[in-house]
Structure 1
């Protein structure tokens, strides 16, 4: 019995990261039962790639938010490296920690072990349900493909409609063109144009739709000064990444079509 949503988020982040840095060879997801009893089972999860690898003196920093092993990595492969920081936090919520073994030029293995209670099929069926049925049209703005896939999966399960943009410029174009969204989920840090700037541009438009459109910030850290920035930009609320589906449901349900 486990938290399916968080486990999927961890693996999607690690696999997405591995694929991004692997030009030749492949990526393997490997699961092994380490120990088990009648009530419990401990499983080792590993994501193994044949990618660029990480130098030994950089291994300590790759899990820090907005840090990558090499500066030219960001230019070549894109992204801020947030996926690893989010995965680390999610794994720690399972009372575990993430480990990495790597050889530069040969590849990396990211691994962690999690203990689960065993459960019968009936008790496991409804362990992760959130209320279903959201009559809402959401624009999701996030440059991370894994985050878009995960949110899309959850929104579809609730019966919501979703559209997607990868940066603030795309978001503004879609809001101006369609004018049919009930709410926007807006990532803060994105290439080309971030969420704060995009929200400011939307709010500067005079028509009522642009003034009143609910915009919820997606952010990986909530520092006191960031709260002020979110309010000043004209955003209505925020959701912390990695997000809890129940929190997302609760915040979206306030804006659904009547």
Structure 2
């Protein structure tokens, strides 16, 4: 929540606070022993390959599903930008495809036909497949560069892979019984769930360890850095004048000058 400021409030220390924060972060270095300890903890967490109960399995499934859906959404967005608005968007919003988007869309349609014929296609197109796609497009009056074909294929295959992974993830929701009893079922090969469980557990343990390290050591080291920075700034008059500014500072300086002039005038009158 943003801090409320009255209209007459003077932000006298804002620049100073920002400068101290930036300089303190710049000077701070994470304790090397703590980093080594964290690496060992992460390694040990990743080595644990056993899921002991159904809630852990469900948590791993949920994490995997959420991650895949996020990646799929990003990929769909990239493809949408590549091919431009569909017929509905063009009709309702009066939008048109650019010439490049038209070429991308024709290329996408051709590559989608290839994917439907070869659902288990590898991640990369062979050179003869690129040539076939290019010639098919040329037959429809679309000149296309092989690099564009490969670039479009990369996004389409990524979407295809993520969609299949999500479908498999849904199948594995009922796979804990098979996993627990070491049943072999090609349809329910759920090693990916175990991988996501290891990653999720590593992230949780890492977060807890970092929280403990911050509380136990790093906060004190940061406080020490802040004090040192403030001391250094306090000894630098030029920097102080740049950082501590505002209406109150200006009023104080004007008052100080006025007092000096007033004192000088009194002294002059007294001497005369």
Instruction: Please report the TM-score for the alignment, with normalisation by the length of structure 1.
Output: 0.25
Q: Which structure has the higher relative contact order (CA within 8 Å, separation 6+)?
A: 2
Higher strand content, 1 or 2: 1
User: Based on CA coordinates, which of the two structures has the bigger radius of gyration?
Assistant: 2
Instruction: Please report the TM-score for the alignment, with normalisation by the length of structure 2.
Output: 0.24
